[in-house]
A and B are shown apart, each in its own frame.
Chain A
Amino acid sequence: MKLLKNCLFAGLTALALLGAAKVTTAQETDQVGRAPYLESLKGKKVIFVPISQGMDLNQSWVVVWQRHAARYGFSLEVRDPNGDTNAGIRAMQGAIAEKPDLIIVQNPDVQTYARLLKQAQSAGIKVLQVNMQSATQTDSYVGNDWIEMGRLEMGELAKHCTGPNAVSHKVVWLAGVQTGAANIYMRTGIDEVLKANPELQLVSDQPADYMSEKARQITETVLQQHPDLCGIMGIWDNAEVGAGAAVAAAGKQDQVTIVTNGAGSATGCESIKNGLLDVIFNFNAPIQAEIAAQQISELLQHPERQAGSEKTIFFGPITRVDKTNAVGRNCWKLDDLK
């Protein structure tokens, strides 16, 4: 009888231990914080108002965010104004009226959405700005350090055009849209380099408005005025191919250095390979998109924090790409990101 009691006791103890072990195992395999993370993102609504979805950087951002949204169960809607500022204002007004959990916005310039962004924050909507800032600072900005970009590009020209073997000290700045944040801040960086290198001569600073044909026309005209031009810097690789075409048509590819920046897509690398561009400072849009995705997660995880109560800035990495490294991750294709 005693033996039976002992066996029963031993069996029950074993069962209890097994059960406890099971419970412990179950607790250990549930990654700490994962459940509340999933819970905080699930069913949330994010609206993105870009400048235009026809641009390489926008497409890569959205591919990355859509992957993130599908994995963690929040919705991402893109309201594309297709480069039309008025349509952008309407898209922003519509987005604010819908009261999503987060608005992501790429500003066409520093002023247009400034008041709307304030309205969104007052309405309790968190706002993440990407790559192009507004005069209004919001919860977060993820994108380029444009002043640094100006320094890097003009610094590159300073290297080429101030040495003893430089053909001249003449450089050109082919701006984009002059009221855009990128232009305004890049100009600050450019001016710093020009101040540090007084021998550099900025012989033209025409805006090409991100248009390759306009960039070509300006370059063609400037080359007539300054046949000894040393360098050209621009703001988007897809536009500066026009400058490259004008330089190539004048047979001055060895003389004129063309520096620009871009999202890092394969077309930019092709332009380097076929000699239309020399250096692209690549801000790698897919990496920017990943940083922004983390910001989306953070902003959605803390609904208790009031919109606009914290202001964060993340500058993405910038890689100098020339013909020695125009390969691999420096030259993404949209299909690679999907």
Chain B
Amino acid sequence: MELAGSGKSDGGRIGLKLSQELVVVAISVILFVVFSATLNNFLSRGNIIAILKNVSILGTLAVGMGFIVVGRGIDLTMVAVMVVGVAFSIWISTWGVDFTLAVICGAILAASIGLFTGIMVAVAEIPPIFATLAIASSVYGSGRIVFASDVLYAPPNIAWLKFVGSGTILGIPMSVVIFAAVAALMGFFLRKTRFGRLVYATGDNPNAARTTGLPTRPIIVTQYVISALIAFTAGIIMTGLVTGIDTRLYNSSLIYDVLLVVVLGGIGLSGGQGGVRNIIVGTILVGILTNGMTILNFSYTSQNLIKSVILLCALAIDAIINPRDEQTSQSGDI
């Protein structure tokens, strides 16, 4: 059985679904060609690597978000988990705990938050958008009280962290390698494992999935745990890149950029469709766009404005391509 994520599902919707992905690819190609022709050094190897490096954190987060959205959820806790998880690791390392051990503790904390979020969504049945919004705020708030400072610096001379930040494999920066590895693992997980297929089934129609005997609750809880761990991984990449973590990122537009990548790439918010390929397509478009806007000296506010308008368009396209039908209305939405 081929599922929606493969782009080969039921005949009637193939064309439209492909169109959305193709539209994004086409926009990316057009932007790429225009920027290559008009901007100095845009087409250089260094700049292409810079684009990939600059979207590695966003892309990694988007893989986690995409995984949740496929199961008809949304995870607004990702940035909070990322900054608080890593800040927690750095904080306990200042007590003299070995940094690697501290990072493992941070990962356990992130997973615990994911577990709690999953239980709130799957068992307490709080709509994911509200549950994750409230939990994100609580997680960040708790972290803010404990750590006092917004910016926490990792201890110096941690070899593996330096490698994450500035190391390369075959000339490709480690941050990009990690993003690619997370994306590949997720792709394999969604397409080739039974669990992945259950995620699609749950996202497509949770009530039908439950009625047919699928363990929807454990599936949802596991999804949030994995998403939290992916967020933590993104935080580690960031710490490697800039030597510390700035918890104020929680207040930035990063979580919306992540959603932008997911929706833009063509993963419908009504769940049950799309895959890692969509996330990569969305990430590349946002990467090219951000790089071009930076070279063109667009202000931060105008960049956010342009990205928001694109997100709105993507949501509108999503609503047209994946219309709410009677079935989706009855089974609820995020």
Contact = CB atoms under 8 A, between A and B. Distances in A.
Interface of A: 52-56, 59, 82-84, 178, 204-214, 216-218, 220-225, 227, 238, 241-242, 245, 248-249, 267, 270, 274, 276
B255 to A, nearest CB: 14
B148 A83 contact: no
Nearest to B173: A249
Contact of B242 (A56, A84, A210, A245): A245
Contacts of A223: 46, 50
Contacts, number: 104
Interface centre among A59, A82, A208, A225 (most CB of B within 10 A): A225
23 contacts: A54-B144, A54-B148, A54-B149, A55-B149, A55-B150, A56-B149, A178-B300, A204-B294, A211-B248, A211-B249, A212-B151, A213-B57, A214-B300, A216-B242, A217-B54, A217-B294, A218-B294, A220-B53, A221-B294, A224-B50, A241-B243, A267-B151, A270-B153
Contacts of B242: 212-213, 216, 241-242, 245
B331 interface: no
A54 B247 contact: yes
B238 A213 contact: yes
Contacts of B252: 209, 211
B149 A207 contact: no
A221 B50 CA distance: 6
Given A221-B50, A225-B41, A241-B243, A249 B149 contact: no
Given A211-B248, A213-B241, A222 B299 contact: no
Nearest to B253: A209
Contact of A54 (B244, B248, B291, B301): B248
Interface in B229-249: 238, 241-244, 246-249
A207 B251 contact: no
B295 A225 contact: yes
Interface of B: 39-41, 44, 46-47, 50, 53-54, 57, 144, 148-151, 153, 156, 165-166, 238, 241-244, 246-249, 251-252, 290-291, 294-295, 297, 299-301
Contacts of B149: 54-56, 59
A221 B47 contact: yes
A250 to B, nearest CB: 8
A14 to B, nearest CB: 64
Contacts of A220: 50, 53-54
Contacts of B248: 52, 54, 83, 210-211
Contacts of B291: 221
Given A52-B248, A221-B294, A225-B40, A249 B165 contact: yes
A186 to B, nearest CB: 16
A267 B153 contact: yes
Contacts of A55: 149-150
Contacts of B301: 178
Sort A-B residue pairs by CB-CB distance and give the 10 closest, nearest first.
A54-B150, A224-B47, A212-B242, A207-B300, A221-B294, A217-B54, A238-B151, A242-B242, A220-B50, A224-B46
Contacts of A52: 150, 248
Given A213-B241, A224-B46, A206 B299 contact: yes
Interface centre among B40, B246, B247, B301 (most CB of A within 10 A): B246
A221 B77 CA distance: 29
Contact of A224 (B44, B246, B300): B44
Contacts of B46: 223-224, 227
B289 to A, nearest CB: 12
B243 A245 contact: yes
A238 B300 CA distance: 18
A248 to B, nearest CB: 7
Contacts of B50: 220-221, 223-224
Interface centre among B40, B248, B295 (most CB of A within 10 A): B248
A204 B241 contact: no
A143 B252 CA distance: 27
Nearest to B246: A212
B41 A204 contact: no
A181 to B, nearest CB: 17
A217 to B, nearest CB: 5
B249 A213 contact: yes
B62 to A, nearest CB: 16
Given A54-B148, A205-B297, A238 B246 contact: yes
Contacts of B150: 52, 54-55, 238
B61 to A, nearest CB: 12
B148 A59 contact: yes
Given A213-B238, A241-B243, A249-B165, A84 B44 contact: no
Nearest to B53: A220
Given A54-B148, A213-B241, A224-B50, A204 B249 contact: no
A83 B251 contact: yes
Contacts of B153: 267, 270
